[in-house]
């Protein structure tokens, strides 16, 4: 059963005739995504410090934002979560996920670096992957200067960002020079073919539709042959062993639900420590909507607790 608060949100979207993302230009879709956060997101909580960063990535400068949690000292070397925002590889930025990043930072006791990776259609696959991997490697290399503990570095993200975090974890394992302690995968996209049963069951009526998924994928990946590439579809990698411990979180009314569950199962089958949690009454994107959805705040707290357990305790 859909949560009553979530049902009310979907009804409000219909009453207000909010246009679906796939009907908008990319510029308008980005603006809508940025602007609607005032309606659904909690006020950004205070943190101990925020610092704007920039690195020189493989395709040019990559802006980032460093948060340090309340109660931490300026001199403490903190564990860190490198975070990749959601938005279908097409929309979203540092500001759309600012409240979420602050909450995860405070509640986990970890520092957090949010990454403003390049988006499609201006920058097609695998540019976002290259940016995401470069950012994680840069955070490790600059850990001392940033007062971070490189031995306690995690990656995470929601939706497209969860996809990137999963891919970075695999690439880091294969490169051997970027140890990752934990991966936080919030309703990740793991198979670009979009054939799991939940894509049909939840493809209409729950905000993220099949049409919107096709819009995002079409703006990100030029050639459907790339769907088979593990950097686009980490579930299809032939070896998922020896990866960092993971929490995979999904939503019951999300088209991505089944591929998230399948990825958690694949991680476990390959011998990794992986926990799976599904918020059965929720929709894709719910974790940023804590102003309206109580379970969003519960999900943030649970994610933060797992980060704390993996990196701080």
Catalytic positions are 159, 254, 284
Helix 127-141 vs helix 160-175: angle between axes, to the nearest 10 degrees? 60
34 token code pair? 């940025």
134 token code pair? 């470069």
Do residues 148 and 139 touch, judged by C-beta distance below 8 A?
yes
Is 63 strand, coil or helix?
Answer: strand
CA distance 169 to 88: 19
Instruction: Report the 10 Å Cβ neighbour count for 31.
Output: 13
Q: Which of 183, 209, 252 is nearest to 18 (CA)?
A: 209
Q: Could you write out the three-class secondary structure of 241-269?
A: CCCCCEEEEEECCCCCHHHHHHHHHHHHH
Residue with tokens 């990776």: 117
CA distance 256 to 190: 8
CA distance 268 to 249: 14
């Amino acid at each position: 059963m859909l949560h009553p608060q979530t049902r009310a949100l979907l009804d409000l979207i219909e009453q207000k005739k909010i246009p679906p993302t796939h009907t908008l230009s990319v510029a308008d879709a980005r603006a809508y995504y940025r602007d609607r956060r005032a309606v659904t997101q909690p006020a950004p909580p205070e943190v101990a410090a925020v610092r704007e960063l920039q690195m020189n990535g493989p395709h040019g400068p990559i802006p980032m934002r460093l948060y340090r949690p309340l109660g931490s000292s300026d001199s403490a070397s903190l564990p860190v979560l490198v975070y990749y925002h959601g938005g279908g590889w097409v929309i979203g930025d540092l500001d759309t996920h600012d409240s979420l990043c602050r909450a995860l930072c405070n509640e986990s006791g970890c520092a957090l670096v949010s990454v403003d990776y390049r988006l499609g259609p201006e920058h097609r696959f695998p540019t976002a992957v290259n940016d995401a991997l470069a950012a994680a490697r840069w955070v490790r290399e600059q850990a001392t200067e940033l007062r971070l503990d490189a031995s306690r570095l995690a990656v995470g993200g929601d939706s497209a960002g969860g996809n990137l975090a999963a891919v970075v974890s695999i690439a880091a394992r294969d490169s051997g020079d970027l140890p990752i302690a934990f991966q936080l995968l919030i309703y990740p996209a793991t198979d670009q073919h979009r054939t799991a049963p939940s894509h049909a069951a939840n493809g209409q009526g729950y905000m993220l539709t099949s049409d919107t998924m096709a819009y995002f994928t079409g703006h990100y990946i030029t050639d459907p042959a790339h769907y088979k590439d593990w950097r686009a579809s980490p579930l299809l990698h032939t070896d998922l062993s020896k990866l960092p411990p993971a929490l995979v979180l999904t939503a019951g009314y999300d088209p991505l639900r089944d591929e998230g569950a399948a990825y958690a199962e694949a991680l476990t089958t390959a011998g990794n420590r992986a926990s799976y949690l599904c918020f059965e009454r929720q929709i894709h994107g719910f974790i940023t909507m804590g102003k309206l959805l109580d379970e969003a705040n519960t999900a943030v707290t649970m994610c933060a607790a797992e980060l704390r357990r993996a990196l701080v305790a």
